[in-house]
Chain A
């Protein structure tokens, strides 16, 4: 395991469809984060897991978005009834149990909603 992986790398969908993204963090990293990034902007925090517990969720996050990390390892992010405004890069990051907060980011999933 050399880093955080995300699948798929690209997703094109029609408005109204549901999509699900997967993130595999670095092994034994207990912290996992999801972000959304649009062109020309910094990553926007969506949600945070410590092990399998979802401890933080952005107030900006619509109820169409849901994330899980059932066994404290990989995580999924689902978007229901996608809208064109959901088009963005969805980034996953993980960090370990150490005193620092260094996050390792995956390559992202590029979502395009037509």
Chain B
């Protein structure tokens, strides 16, 4: 399939290591944040979300951290696997979910 990550920042990690993907947002009024994973030739897939009244949220092997002071969001993936190789996007929205703004994405390469 066609790659969506030809000119994206790339993070290369060894299989089994932890990965940290960062995202900066600009709108201090944003209330809701999502991380998506996009594999080549597919639409984005929801990973985890967090509201602005939280600093941290954990899912299965993933953790999202939100620092509202510096408007920074991060996605931590524990024990990264080859199947985690994809492009990762953060997205932000107001509390009415009427529109979402996506970041430019980070390509994650997991080396076996």
Task: Give the chain A neighbours of B89 by CB distance below 8 A.
Answer: 42-43
Q: Mark the stretch among B2-10, B13-21, B60-68, B71-79 that contacts chain A.
A: B2-10
Using CB atoms and an 8 Å cutoff, list the residues of chain B in contact with chain A: 2-8, 32, 34, 36, 41-46, 49, 89, 91, 93, 97-105
Pick the residue among A48, A50, A91 that contacts B43 (CB under 8 A). Answer: A91
Q: How many A-B residue contacts, CB cutoff 8 Å?
A: 72
Q: Which of A96-110 contact B (CB under 8 A)?
A: 100-108, 110
Q: Which residues of A contact B98 (CB under 8 A)?
A: 48, 50, 55-56
CB of A102 within 8 A of CB of B105, answer no
Task: Report the minimal beta-carbon distance from B47 to chain A, rounded to whole angstroms.
Answer: 10
Whether a CB of chain B sits under 8 angstroms from the CB of A2 is no
Q: Which residues of A contact B (CB under 8 A)?
A: 4, 31, 33, 35, 37, 39-45, 48, 50, 55-56, 58, 91, 93, 95, 100-108, 110
For the complex formed, measure the closest distance between the CB of A2 and the CB atoms of chain B, giving whole angstroms: 14
CB distance from B85 to the nearest CB of A (A): 17
Instruction: Kindly identify which residue among B5, B8, B46, B104 contacts A103, using a CB–CB cutoff of 8 Å.
Output: B46
Q: Nearest chain-B residue to A46 (Cβ)? A: B99
Taking a contact as CB atoms under 8 Å apart, the answer to whether B4 and A100 are in contact is: no
Q: Known: A40-B6, A42-B89, A43-B89. Contact between A102 and B46, CB under 8 A?
A: yes
Known interface pairs A40-B7, A56-B99; A105-B44 also in contact (CB < 8 Å): yes
Q: Knowing A41-B105, A91-B43, say if A101 contacts B4 (CB, 8 Å).
A: no
User: A39-B6, A42-B102, A102-B49 in contact; A31/B97 too (CB < 8 A)?
Assistant: yes
